[in-house]
Structures are given as structure tokens and as C-alpha cells.
Amino acid sequence: MGSVNADLVVSVDRRPAPGETVLGSDLATYPGGKGANQAVAAARLGARTAILARIGDDGHGDLLRAALAEAGVDLGHLLVTPGPSGVALITVDPDGDNSIIVSPGANAHLAPSDLDSGLLSAAVVSFQLEIPLPTVEAAARTAAANGARVVLNLSPATAIPDDLLALCDPLVVNEHEAAFLLGARDDPASMATALLARGPRSVVITLGPEGALTADATGVTAVPSPKVEVVDTTGAGDAFTAALCLRLARGDTLADAARHAVRVGAAAVRKPGAQSSYPTADEPLPT
């Protein structure tokens, strides 16, 4: 459950300073949005996947619907809002790192009244924060009450109430998001322990090329990532979270699920775009 965006991507030699103009590559348009990315990545990996989201009735909406359908995502709860779809404006530098501005569009209209209790009874329900927080809160409570495992990717970083934190199993953050929640940056293991003390049932901190850390009742586990040539990091975190959710749904421990997820995330950075870079279930993963 989450956002569906059109990703408008330009490659640049360097990002502009305030008031500066730089030239970039031709504009490329890809299907994206954190919710859609995770749904597509999970479906491509072999998961039975559905999405609850909103798109606009514009041309971007047509592109986004087609991409989800091609990946095999159940679209029975993909709703249409009159007006524009969500759009992400993305610049990618020569190292493959990206900067992103999101215009929510139809995503901002996903409301608690759109929720479907049956859909929120899946083995795992994954949330992100490119949709309204009250909708995430209501859906997470419903999912937890239905016995689903609630996975929350705190992106973009936003203050969330303690009762929502308490439902997360795991809370998935990168180092910047972890520091935002804690109010200070520390070494990743210390931040994972501190986040766990805030109330979630488990925590995953993604560390880019260094892999990830998991923290739960069994302790903190470092999960290194395979080393690959980076082309574009856009959507790699979503590929990681999707793979994590899939393996948790199949009964893996958190650490084992993360070990698979870092390989999927590493595979995703080797190609441009988000959804277009995601591996299929039969594609060899980096080791």
C-alpha cells in the first residue's frame, strides 16, 4: 500500500547549486513510486502481490497501470482520482546517486475510506510515507488486527506516533531516516539498538553499498552487500524492502530475509531506472 508515481529522470554531471543552471541528459520517464516499486519488485520475484493505491486519470496514470499489470500485480484496488498522477523529479549523478522531489498528485487522495480489510489480511503488508499518514495509521492498525505482518519504510522521513511504531515488524530506514527519528547520528549498530528501544518489534537499517543491519529480540546482525558496478540507485531501497517482505512472508528470520534482500538491492543498482532494473525470480543475483 503506497504511492504510484511517474519518475522523470535526468542524468547530470553535477547537481546545480542554488540559482545555478546545469545541462542534463534527455528526459527519461519510468514507472515508479515507492508503493508501486515494491509491488512490482515483489511480483517479479514471484510473490502473489496486490496494491492499494491511487493514480490520476492522465497519461502518466495509463503508463503506471500498464507497468503494474505487466509485472503481474493485482490491480483490483488501484483507484483513479480525477487530476494528475504522482510525479517524482529525479537527478542522477555520475556515481549513480540520486536526488528526488516528489509531487504527490493522486497519492495525496488515498484515504482511510479506501481501505479494504480483506486486502489488509495478507501475510505481509508494506507501507511507505508518500501517502497521507492518517491513511497509513488506519491501514496498519487494520492489518495488525488481521494478523498481517506490518512493514513500514519510513520514507520520506516523517515524525510518526508511538502506536504506529509499535506495530512495525520491521521498521525499515536508511541512515538518514534513522538519524531523523533519533535526533542524532551515531554508528549504525547503536542507532539500530536505539530505534528498537523506541518500540518497533524489529528494525532494519539499510546502508547502501555496505548492506544492512537488522535488530530484533535476538540482537543486532550485520548483513554485508555484494559489490557491484553502480549505474543508478533509484528504487534500490524499494527492491530491498520488497525482497525482505517476500522472504518474511515465506517464514525467513529477519536476518535471513535481509541477506536475500541485499542481493536483490545490489542487482537493482546495475541498471537505469527503478522498476526496469528489478530482477526476476529466475535471474541470478550477485553474490
Q: Is the pLDDT of residue 274 over 90?
A: no
Over range 252-281, report the average pLDDT: 95
Residue 233: per-residue pLDDT: 87
Residue 97: per-residue pLDDT: 84
Residue with cell 547537481: 15
Residue 98: per-residue pLDDT: 83
**Residue 273 annotated as lining a ligand binding site:** yes
Q: What is the pLDDT of residues 192-203, one digit of tens each?
A: 999 999 999 999
User: Percent of the chain beyond pLDDT 70?
Assistant: 100
Q: Which domains does the chain have, with CATH numbers?
A: 34-84+107-277 (3.40.1190.20)
Over range 216-228, report the average pLDDT: 96
**Residue 35 annotated as lining a ligand binding site:** yes
Q: Which member of 58, 169, 216, 238 is catalytic?
A: 238
145: helix, coil or strand?
Answer: helix
CA-closest candidate to residue 185, choices 162, 207, 161: 207
| 187 counts as catalytic | no
Q: Could you tell me the pLDDT band of residue 275, with boundaries at 50, 70 and 90?
A: very high
What integer best gives the mean pLDDT of the chain? Answer: 96
Over range 9-31, report the average pLDDT: 94
DSSP secondary structure of 151-205: EEE--S-----HHHHTTEEEEEEEHHHHHHHHTS---HHHHHHHHHHTS-S-EEE
**Residue 36 annotated as lining a ligand binding site:** yes
d(CA 221, CA 243): 18
Nearby residues of 219 by Cβ (< 8 Å), 6 or more positions away: none
Q: What is the pLDDT of residues 58-84, one digit of tens each?
A: 999 999 999 999 999 999 999 999 999
Residues 245 and 237: beta-carbon distance below 8 Å: no
Strands of the chain, DSSP E: 5-11, 28-32, 50-56, 74-81, 86-92, 98-103, 124-127, 149-153, 168-174, 203-206, 212-216, 219-223
Q: Could you tell me the pLDDT band of residue 190, with boundaries at 50, 70 and 90?
A: very high
**Residue 271 annotated as lining a ligand binding site:** yes
243: helix, coil or strand?
Answer: helix
Residue 273: per-residue pLDDT: 82
